[in-house]
Structure 1
Amino acid sequence: MTTVKELKATSRPRAGKGAARAVRREGRVPGVIYGDNKPPVTISLDSAELRQRIFAGHFLTTIFDVELDGTKHRVIPRDYQLEPLQDRPVHVDFMRLGEGATIRVRVPIRTVNPEGAPGIKRGGTVNIVTHAVELRCPADAIPESIEIDLAGMEINHSRHLSDITLPPNVKTVGKLDPTLVTLVPPSGYAEEQRAAKDAAAAPAAGAAAPAAGAKAPAAGAKAPAGDAKAAAGAKKPDAKK
């Protein structure tokens, strides 16, 4: 079961840029709650509290009960904007969650069990290619992260989304099978592999040389046979005499 956190909000009766600026001058952040076939509600939240929630991590996959005028709205954050220079929140959007709602969320990737990867022991580095994947799941069962087990991974090996066992009732969105992580070789790895292959090939080539040279004495062994014929031929003049 997903942990639900609390947020307090106040009504913001007016919409528009001018009203939003007035809210920010009061140290609050304008926002809106929408969805579930109900009219949108404009709200404001404490800037410091909202900033803390955002930078604590997993903000966009966290379920909140926003208390507004004595009523709690079960919501999930859908978007937020930060002031570019000081990273202060300037706006936030929440989507209402009806009972039994199924939603699409982007869930971050997390690697585990690096000590079980032979490639890491040989100097390889984990490269996270896809930092988050889009999933469809029940609103009350959003995974905090998708774990990728690195056990058994060698250098230049990869893990894809299809290699991961997802939690129950959680499905991928779309038909793509993205690469999630790869194990990158250390610097100079290709040269070391080439040198190892050359070293392994060198004894095999050297072992063939004596075999080829062994044929020389066999060829030279015919020479005495030729000399013997010459000696036999030397007796012919005596036979004529």
Structure 2
Amino acid sequence: MTEISAIVAELRDRAGKGAARATRREGKVPGVIYGAKQAPVTIALDPRVIWAELNKPGFKTRLFDIDLGNGSKERCLARDVQLHPVSDQPQHIDFLRVSADAVVHVKVPVHVANADKAPGVKRGGVVSIELHEVEVTCAPANIPAEIVVDLSGMEIGAAVHVSDLKLPAGVTPYHVSAQGTVVSISAPTVAQAAEGEQAE
């Protein structure tokens, strides 16, 4: 099951850049909830809550139950977060409404496991992550927090492709080639040559 985080928001009366600036002056983070063929709802959130959620793993793969303070809640996915260019503090956040029967597109981070147990790595091979995240389609309740690629047993020259990924039931790759390389183990000379070219 996908993790669900509960957060509290306040409804905002107005939309637009002026209203968003006013919300920020009050020390809040402006945001909007949209989608599911319903009218957008403008909200304001506690920046400490958003910052805490941003620092947890899988911010864009977790579901949020947003309490609007008027007796209603919206179940959402975080879609976009605008950060201040200097302070990195959240400036605006977009949430997408989701229903239980919806199909969503989500970019799921790739996590490499057991690299130290790969014979190829023990012999000096270098792990190269080609896709740091893979976009998938699934029901909201089936969103994986991460995609784990187990390298144990892999030799130099071995590669894991999208078609090799062990995805949960109901989760399928979206808009990415089945033969696309996710992770590979390169020979150390090849890796060093590539690094030299990048340095030049």
Distance 2:100 2:13 in 1: 27
Alignment match, 1:131: 132
Alignment match, 1:118: 119
Alignment match, 2:10: 10
For the pair 1:59 / 2:59, whether they are aligned, the reply is yes
Alignment match, 2:89: 88
SS of the residue 1:52 aligns to: helix
Do 2:100 and 2:141's aligned partners in 1 also have CA atoms closer than 8 Å? no
Please list, as runs of the form range in 1=range in 2, the aligned pairs for 1:55-204 lying within 5 A after superposition.
55-68=55-68, 69-174=70-175, 176-177=177-178, 178-187=180-189
How far is 1:189 from its partner? 9.2
Do 2:125 and 2:156's aligned partners in 1 also have CA atoms closer than 8 Å? yes
Alignment match, 2:195: none
What is the CA RMSD across the aligned residues, in angstroms? 1.7
Do 2:9 and 2:46's aligned partners in 1 also have CA atoms closer than 8 Å? yes
How far is 1:6 from its partner? 0.5
Greater shift in the superposed pair: 181-190 or 49-58: 181-190
Greater helix content? 1
When the two structures are superposed, what TM-score results if normalisation uses the length of structure 1?
0.75
Do 2:33 and 2:96's aligned partners in 1 also have CA atoms closer than 8 Å? yes
Alignment match, 2:196: none
Percent identity reads 45
Q: AA paired with 2:79?
A: R
SS of the residue 1:140 aligns to: helix
Distance 1:175 1:79 in 2: 21
When the two structures are superposed, what TM-score results if normalisation uses the length of structure 2?
0.89
**Bigger radius of gyration:** 1
Greater strand content? 2
Distance 1:51 1:82 in 2: 10
Distance 2:183 2:36 in 1: 37
Distance 1:132 1:23 in 2: 33
How far is 1:111 from its partner? 1.1
SS of the residue 1:174 aligns to: coil
Query: Structure 2: any 5+ residue segments left out of the alignment?
Result: 193-200
Alignment match, 1:45: 45
Considering Cα pairs closer than 8 Å and 6+ residues apart, tell me whether 1 or 2 has the greater RCO: 2
Distance 2:124 2:133 in 1: 26
Q: Give the ranges of 4+ consecutive aligned residues of structure 1 lying more than 3 Å apart after TM superposition.
A: 187-190
Distance 1:37 1:124 in 2: 51
Give the direction of change, closer, same or farther, for the CA distance of 1:127–1:89 in structure 2 (3 Å limit).
same
**CA deviation profile, 1:44-67 (whole Å, cap 9, x unmatched):** 101121012112231111100000
Distance 2:133 2:176 in 1: 16
SS of the residue 2:163 aligns to: helix
Alignment match, 1:35: 35
How many residues are treated as equivalent by the alignment?
190
SS of the residue 2:141 aligns to: coil
**CA deviation profile, 1:108-157 (whole Å, cap 9, x unmatched):** 00111224311111122211111000000110111011111112211122
Distance 1:188 1:34 in 2: 47
